[in-house]
Structure 1
Amino acid sequence: MAIVLARVDQRLVHGITVNDWNALLKPKRFMVIDDEISKDDMAKGAMRMSKPSGTGMSIISTETAIQNFKNGKYDDHKVFVLVKEPETLLELIQAGISIPEVNVGFVFPDDGRKAITGRVSLNEKEADDLKIIESKNINVSFQYRPTDEKISLEKALDKKF
């Protein structure tokens, strides 16, 4: 089955992802894909402590994720992918990894980003990356919690980029 949802959320593993999204998706594995955090043992340890009981957690680099997916390592898993920026998802897609849907949940309003929703700010490259992802027939929406209204990419970016 592999990826059930990919989420862009700069906080990665936190209460909303391990409670609300876990309850909806019921993944077998949480997968944080981040080149920097995959090398940070302290950050990885903290994230692993917060994972829901009965689920696995991988905290790996983009290249490792691509190789593991291509080798079929997660074929029998429901995987919830968490990344900090859309570029990581675009790299996976360009490597042939199937992503059924992208959810944008939380991106900090720093580094010259423009506010898109109450919890998401993007720069031009991030907006362009999401447009490219959607052009590949992958639905991109903005939704903090599963109970919140889903906002389409088109509506979220309207007159902003």
Structure 2
Amino acid sequence: MTIVVTRIDERLIHGQVAYSWSVAYQVTEFIVIDDGVAADPTQLLLLSLAVPSGKRHAILSVEDAVKYLVEQSDQEKTFIVVKSPRVLLSLIEKGIILPSINVGGMYYKAGKQEISKTVYLDEEDKSIFLKIRDHGIPCEIRTSPNDKSIDLFTKI
């Protein structure tokens, strides 16, 4: 497996992710990593329906995702999507190698500061991203594949 995109998007799989990103990066597999979603039958069904026809997918807890990512040796072009940078830091700390991280949708909540039109961070988020940077992983802000890439670290 080759991880071609790792994205933070609170909406997980939706039209833009399912189609624009999968076409731009020739994605053959989607992996959603979220403990809550993986345990919710309704969310499992809804996200499964959002995956384009002919694409593989898995909706996994963090623990199951680590096992899955370590054990896979097929030729899939994998798109990983999570809701939070905390999940990605957990994967990284468990030995999963992520070439880069795309931050596309972390939306406004009380206490969060606007970094871009679609990215709002609080101090905890910033701290997590700085730990990710310490692992040498670049993070960009980009809503769609055609948008200009902005280095997240220049904004925090």
TM-score, normalised to structure 2, is 0.94
Output the CA distance in 2 between the equivalents of 1:74 and 1:27: 16
State the one-letter code of the partner of 2:104.
Answer: G
State the one-letter code of the partner of 1:39.
Answer: A
Match of 1:99 in 2: 98
Output the CA distance in 1 between the equivalents of 2:69 and 2:110: 32
Output the CA distance in 2 between the equivalents of 1:74 and 1:87: 26
Q: 1:32-65: per-residue Cα shift (whole Å, max 9, x none)?
A: 0000000111111111111112111111100000
Name structure 2 gaps, 5 residues minimum.
none
Name structure 1 gaps, 5 residues minimum.
none
Q: How many residues align?
A: 156
Instruction: Provide the alpha-carbon RMSD of the alignment.
Output: 1.2
1:14 paired to 2:14: yes
- Partner-residue secondary structure (3-state), 2:6: strand
TM-score, normalised to structure 1, is 0.92
1:47 paired to 2:47: yes
Match of 2:153 in 1: 154
1:75 CA displacement: 4.2
Which ranges of 4 or more aligned residues in structure 1 deviate by more than 6 Å?
A: none
1:133 CA displacement: 1.2
CA contact (8 A) 1:6 1:103 kept: yes
